[in-house]
Each structure stands twice: as structure tokens, then as C-alpha cells.
Homo-oligomer: A and B are copies of this chain.
Amino acid sequence: MAVMDSKKADATQASLHRIFTVPEAPDSTLGRIEKEISENLNAFLQTHIAAREKPLAEIEKDFSCADIPESPSFVSDHTHFLLDKLVAQSVHTSAPTFIGHMTSALPYFLMPLSKIMIGLNQNLVKIETSKAFTPLERQVLGMLHNLIYDEDERFYAQWMHSANHSLGAFCSGGTIANITALWVARNNALRPDGSFRGVAQEGLFRAMKHYGYEDLAVLVSERGHYSLKKAADVLGLGRDCLIPIQTDSDNRVCVDQMRAKLESLKQQNVRVFAIVGVAGTTETGNIDPLDALADLAAEYDCHFHVDAAWGGATLMSNKYRPLLKGIERADSVTIDAHKQLYVPMGAGMVIFKNPASMSAIEHHAEYILRKGSKDLGSHTLEGSRSGMAMLLYASLNIISRPGYEMLINNSIEKARYFSELIKAHPDFELVTEPELCLLTYRYLPARTQQALAISNTAQKELLLDALDDLTKFIQKRQRESGKSFVSRTRITPEKWDRKLTTVFRVVLANPLTTEAILQDVLEEQTQIAQESEKSYPLIMNMTESILANA
């Protein structure tokens, strides 16, 4: 690292002062971009994001130098660089044809509001750096609590702003929310008892010795989100302790099997301290029988957590709310606002039924979070946090409950439309029916379906493997060509004897996705299939040979 000469130093000093004080002129590069974004975000993204994907190795070349620059760049030069190299090679997550992941278009009013949020640069860890943002965040948590648990006015008047209580925590996303829920559950299960000062203070090893359990466990459907495994690792339980329970043909956890597991673990002196119900599985969008799980949790004295990161927003819909029946009995619920509540990335929440639950993870410090303060940081896994809650607050007010209901209903009904389209198409197979707005399917030509029906075990195996390869090929080529995007995953359909099967996964939450787009997606996939030089000819030859020998 070189030492600067004094002339260069003076220039740097002057430009430094400038960057903290002098705003960008409206006719500068950045000024123009801002205007473009404000006037038409979609047009901006369509103009600047390259349609065709570059290979990752190519992109990496532009981001390969590990030196921190020794000379400042002009803002306009760097902005051009970002537009050419970064924005052009980013993903148009809000495109109506991008139906593969859980990101959607955003309401336009969130762009300018985000700017206010970032300009204010509040830190929600403590009131001294957030003031009104703290009561606002507490209110948002209260609103979500109300949506789930529907307590009366007195309840919220008593607890929403109570210094020593908390209705939940705002966090960066569903993973932190799930970890927080299981953290609270673990600490409450291994709470102080006699001379034992609790797991938070003394740790798991001593807790286990004190309570005399053989082991701990958390039960969840085999479709549970991978963050739960991460939580089991982080929390010192070990991934083994997260026990997957088989699902039925609709991807809902088998309650009988869960009961059997609970009983057998009890016999083995294994303490199941939490049961997790899934409301909107990541891969198929299904909802566990929450009421039955709540019964089990009560019977076996477990914390009942519902991972509704995706499906929780369905509570906004009076029409589809009953799908989540039983969620109001959960001890804690995860909901992501950056999913179906349509705010930008980085807005998760965990809500606790009992305002005292979170005291199991309460922390204090000398310079902030002092006892009796209303600093939010005493009940969060994260420390410093931005004012994201403001964006959800504004959306709840501007869109309102009935507005969200329309969004949710539209999404579910669009998924049903798409499932009908797939079922009616001779060359596709619907693998999972949509319960919310997710479904899975694959390209499976009509004649191959006939061949599969009469093939022997070895032929079937070969064909199904080739179909997996073809699905992968189509998904990758479709993504690269940049016209539309579906994701892919592997699940174990009953129909195919629970063989691990690669499928397209579709999430229909973007309100701008039209029926015409869905028709085009099937057409595009049919065409791409035929471009495969390996698996498509293989499948076709096998198909014809099986049918010919039938």
C-alpha cells in the first residue's frame, strides 16, 4: 500500500468532503438513473438487465481483483461500471415471467419510501437511535400478532409497548426467525430449576445432566425448510435431533407417524421440546394439519412452532384463511414480509403467542438495552438493525387487509389455472397440486407416459433417470435464455414409489403474471426439450422401443 503524495491527498480530501455534502445533480448519471427508476422501474430493469445470461465464469472475471482501489473513482464512472457489469448481469426478479422463486414485483411506493428509510439510517437496536421507529415496529408486531391470534384490544393495550415483554421480533428473514423460535423453545424447556440456573446461563451439557434426558429432539415434516437443520446445528442440538416425519401424498406431515415417534422417543427418555408445523412448504406450498399438531404439542408438552414464512400471509385472505386453521394455537409463528407481504428483501418476523415467552432469551448491556428500557435489542438475535418495519407498516396501511386478500386470492387462483393447463396438456405431468400458489410439474411426453405404464423395472428406472436429466436441461436452458424462469427441486412423489424425482417448481405470487405467460412457459419448455442432444433422443428411442415391443 503506497503512501499518498500531498497533492493527491488534497484532492482526495476535497472530494471526500464533497461526497458527504454535495448531492448528485439531477442531470448526472446517477440523477438520470434515479429518475428512470422512479418513472418506470420495470422499463429500467428491462433496459439494463441483459436478456441472455453470461456464463458465471465470465461474470466472475469482472469481480476478481482482491485489491481495494488506491485511487478514488468518479461516481459517474463507477455507476456506468455497475450498470454494465452488475445490473446487466443481475436477475429480473420482478419480471412477470420470473415464476421460479419467492421474489415478486414490488409496489412502486416502496422505492421512494425505502429511500427515506435509508436516508434516516435508524438503528432499531435501541430507542436512542430509532425513537418513533421503535413503537412503530412494536405496532407492526402487534398487528401480525392480531392477524394470527386475534386477541382483544385490552391485550394489545397491555402488552404491545410493555418494556419487559415482546410480541415477537423483526429480523432479516425466516431463517433467523426460525432460529429465534427454537432458541426460545429450547431455553424454556431447559429453564432454571432449583440450583440449576437454566440452559441460557449454564449451557446444554449441564442442562442435560440436570434434567437427566437421554437426548433432545424437534419433530418436523420431511418437507421442513433447511433452516431448521441449521437451527439445530447452531443451537447445539445437532442436526440429528431434527427428526423428519414422513408426509402423505399431499406433502402434509402424517400425524399418526408423528404421534408414534413422540411416543417412542418418550419411551427412550428423549425430550421432544418442539414440534414444527409447516404452513406453506418451500417446495410444494402445502400446509400441515396444524390443529392436529397443536393437539399433539399439548399432549406431549412441546413448544408448537409454525413455519409460515411463505404461507402466513394467507391469513390476510378471509377466503383462504381456513387453510391455516390451528395456527392460532401455535406458541410461535414465522412470517416473512419479503415474501407474500410484498416488501423488499430482508424482512422476517417471528411472533410469540405469549408476551412473556421471549424473556427466555433476554439480554442486557451497560450502554444500551438497560433493564426496563424499551430497546428492542434486548429480545432479538440480531444487534443493529435497519428500519425495515416501516416499509411493512406503510404497505399494511396503503394496501390494507382487503388489498392483500386480493393479492393472495389471485395468486392461489392463478396457480389453479396453471395446474389445469398442465393437466390438460398431453406432454406434461402435474406432480403436486397447488394448495397455495406453488406447484410442481415436469415435461413428460404422452407416449413416454404410455411407455412407463408398461415398462419393466429396469426400463422404468432408465426412463425416469433420463427424465430427471431432461428436466434439469430444460430448467437450465430456459433460465439462460432469459425469457422466463422456473426453478427446480427434487421430491419423492407417491405416484413414482417415492423415488427422488426432479421437477419444475413454480411460485405464482407476482400479480403481473398473466395467463398468457403461463401458456408461453409450457410452449417454451416443449421446444427446449427437443433441443436436448442427450436425454431427449434417449427418452424418445426408449419410449418407441418399449411401445413397439409391447
Contacts and interface: CB of A to CB of B under 8 A. Distances in A.
A366 B85 contact: no
Given A23-B39, A383-B227, A399-B16, A94 B121 contact: yes
17 contacts: A1-B318, A12-B400, A26-B38, A26-B39, A82-B116, A103-B123, A103-B129, A203-B216, A204-B204, A205-B208, A206-B238, A227-B383, A229-B363, A230-B381, A235-B235, A345-B386, A366-B490
A517 interface: no
Interface size class of A (residues with CB under 8 A): 35 or more
Contacts of A21: 42, 108, 512
A187 B234 CA distance: 9
Interface in A145-160: 145-147, 151, 153, 156-157, 160
Nearest to A69: B400
A479 interface: yes
B63 A402 contact: no
Contact of A82 (B22, B364, B366, B394): B394
A55 to B, nearest CB: 11
A299 interface: no
A491 to B, nearest CB: 8
A132 to B, nearest CB: 4
A131 B53 contact: yes
Interface stretch (A72-80, A259-267, A412-420, A449-457): A72-80
Q: Which 6 A-B pairs have the closest CB atoms?
A: A236-B236, A203-B238, A175-B383, A89-B132, A367-B489, A226-B365
Interface stretch (A133-141, A423-431, A539-547): A133-141
Given A78-B398, A237-B236, A318 B128 contact: no
B238 A384 contact: no
Given A71-B402, A384-B345, A135 B38 contact: no
A19 to B, nearest CB: 4
A401 B238 contact: no
Contacts of A384: 172-175, 336, 338, 345-346, 348
B122 A90 contact: yes
Contacts of A127: 56
A479 B129 CA distance: 11
Interface stretch (A2-10, A290-298, A519-527): A2-10
Interface stretch (A27-35, A248-256, A322-330, A461-469): A27-35
Interface string A492-516: 0000000000000100000110000
A412 B215 CA distance: 52
A101 B128 contact: yes
Nearest to A30: B112
A200 B233 contact: yes
B70 A19 contact: no
Contacts of A121: 93-94, 103, 106, 344-345
